[in-house]
Amino acid sequence: MIVDLRSDTFTKPSKDMRRAIARAEVGDDVFGEDPTVNRLQEEVASLLGKERGLFVASGTMANQIAVNAHTQPGEEVILEANSHIFYYEAGGAALLSGVQLRPISTEDGILRSDQIENGVRPENVHFPPTSLICLENTLNRAGGKVFPIDEIKRIREVADKYNLKLHLDGARLWNASVATGIPLDEYAKYFDSVSVCFSKGLGAPVGSLLAGSEEFINRAHRYRKIYGGGMRQAGIIAAGALYAVRNNVRRLAEDHENARTLAEGVASLPGISIDMDSVQTNIIIMKIERAKYNSIRIVEALKKRGVLILAVGPDTLRAVTHLDVSKKEIKYAVRAFQEVFRD
């Protein structure tokens, strides 16, 4: 048995999703004539309460297009120090938009409105002008934690006070909505733009979507073209995303339940700790507390038992549940952890 908990990006399209992909109506999306892409953009923009959506190849592309469309070269973007845009997007904001990122460190991954306000640059020729705030929901490196909506509201007030734009990296916003019961459009209404991903927990093979106003998406569409993101008969892949949105959102609750089961089974083992309050969706961050263990050794020992996870630091492990991991496989993974830490 192989239980792959490295990421929810390892999901594979189901037979029904493959059938939807095979039957997809297609056209030239660069000309706006792919009916499946258009349907996906309209449906997801509506779910997010935005005027328009733009289908793109990846979450990183969606975020980088958003940064580019909201800023001018030489400006500054405020975000959390462990956010995906800062940590995992290869310096794209500097390369593609010519902006400076101002990362703010937090203990739990959640940027507070007062921290952001303190980070806004005063008008001074020595400083880059602040133009954009980027938040993330759920918080990947904080263990899939949901960003509190009350804090989002306070941050919106700061953005309005200083005339700043606010972008949400909502790659796993679906998980946040399912976990809290807060509708997608309630989260999204506080942001000028929102990106959502189809190729993680929803199980589509490719794609993300960027949503915002008509004016914003017009600018974003140009940047997508500049980035080489005009994908022609993209309905082939949009069909998988559309199937995922229509069929795989509610079932995310199963992934959250499986994550909780795994975390509870592992947290009781000597030599490893988990902040159970952070296990709110489908990501578990585990800390190794014994000097004789290190994350690489644990990953290799689990791999020999058919359980795949990621080392995200010398003493830190990450496991992610998803639609291709069953309750039975979670129980098997717990037994594998027990064997490794007993040995």
Quick one: pLDDT band at residue 294, thresholds 50, 70, 90? confident
- DSSP 3-state percent helix, strand, coil across the chain (nearest 5): 45, 20, 35
Percentage of the chain beyond pLDDT 90 is 96
Average pLDDT over residues 8-16: 96
Quick one: pLDDT band at residue 291, thresholds 50, 70, 90? low
What tokens does 253 get? 């609750």
**What does pLDDT average to over the chain?**
96
Query: In DSSP terms, which residues pair with 104 in a beta bridge?
Result: 80
Are the C-beta atoms of 77 and 67 separated by less than 8 Å? yes
Chain center to CA of 343:
35
Give pLDDT, residue 290: 76
Least confident of 19-23, 152-156, 310-314: 310-314
Question: What structural domains and CATH numbers belong to the chain?
Answer: 13-247 (3.40.640.10), 251-342 (3.90.1150.10)
Judged against a pLDDT cut of 70, whether residue 108 lies above it is answered with yes
Judged against a pLDDT cut of 80, whether residue 343 lies above it is answered with no
Helices (H), the chain: 15-22, 35-47, 59-70, 84-87, 92, 113-119, 149-161, 173-180, 184-188, 214-226, 235-247, 252-267, 295-304, 327-342
- Tens digit of each residue's pLDDT (9 = 90 or more) over 237-289: 999 999 999 999 999 999 999 999 999 999 999 889 999 999 999 999 999 98
Average pLDDT over residues 28-33: 96
Judged against a pLDDT cut of 90, whether residue 292 lies above it is answered with no
Give pLDDT, residue 211: 98
Give pLDDT, residue 342: 81
How far is Cα 47 from Cα 58, in angstroms, rounded to an integer? 19
Percentage of the chain beyond pLDDT 70 is 99
Judged against a pLDDT cut of 90, whether residue 86 lies above it is answered with yes
Torsion over CA: 244, 249, 250, 255 (sign): positive
Rounded to the nearest 10 degrees, the angle between the axes of helix 59-70 and helix 214-226 is 120
